[in-house]
Amino acid sequence: MSEAVEPAAGYDGPRLAASGSVRVRVPAKINLHLGVGPRRPDGFHELTTVYQAISLYDELTADRADRLELVVEGEGADVLPTDENNLAVRAAVLLADHLGVPPRVRLHLRKQIPLAGGLAGGSADAAAALVACDALWDGGLDRNELATLAADLGSDVPFLVPGGTALGTGRGEVLSPVLAVGTWHWVVAVADGGLSTPTVYAKLDALRDAGTVPAEGVGAPDELLAALRQHDPRVLAAALANDMQAAALALRPTLARTLDAGLAEGALAALVSGSGPSCLFLAADADHAASVAARLTTHGVCRTVRTAHGPVPGARTTP
């Protein structure tokens, strides 16, 4: 799949890195705490969230070209747009405008992060495109500058530039690093089909207006932040929280079966990832995660099951 976007006219001086190809690996994100406040005048909701980058990756390669082109393989290759409706393409155009260069690049995206699964796959690809194109065009922007630029593309994109674990406020784009001692182990149950994030937000608003769920939500993430410093999986399990879960379950009731199955197979905690429909299960260690994943697979409550660990770095160039 590919779509050509012609470069800007009138540019007569290329500013390219010495290398003709840049490869970037970028992780998925999960929300360990997702507190959703009221809708703001700009249409977004006020968020307080704790992000963690986990070891499910997309890979994007940027090569010199005479026009902007995106080719996709893997997850969602038959449905993903490859024009300006794709965040990776928009990221390349945004960076080119910022650097004053034409958006001449061929992007080859190998996707493994599920689409519309609450794991920020599209945002990850945008972060990867920013890092890759900055290197290809010799932009010289540091991580903070790229993250600032990324805020124009979406709430999750700035986090996926640095990765790790971070507190997000505002609409999620204002980041503060969080100390997360050691490695945490997760099982990810990937659902059939996706959920639209705006639809889940709208459902949450409707549930709150109807008094079905508390308007105040899950509150501040103090307990979660303290748990991350202790590195006790059982303490963290008790602190995980997601205001979006009730709305995701209302839109996709079968997710309750997935959550119940993971708990029945020994997961320490279960929650919907972000806006869903992927479900997360916390494990005590890598062996426990593998065991939970193997047994969860037999329940037939999801499309596939993967194990992952976090935190991991964000978008990074690779050989």
Q: Which residues carry out catalysis?
A: 29, 156
DSSP 22-50: EEEEEEEEEEEEEEEEEEPTTSPEEEEEE
* Residues present in the chain in total: 319
CA torsion 262→270→252→29, rounded to 10°? -120
- Beta-bridged to residue 54, according to DSSP, are 28
Cα distances from 60 to residues 74, 122, 129, 300, in angstroms, run 12, 12, 7, 32
CA torsion 115→152→167→213, rounded to 10°? -60
Contact between 33 and 8 under an 8 Å Cβ cutoff? The reply is no
Which runs of consecutive H residues, i.e. helices, occur in 109-232? 121-136, 143-150, 157-160, 197-209, 222-230
CA–centroid distance for 282 within its chain: 18
Angstrom distance (rounded) from CA 242 to CA 245: 6
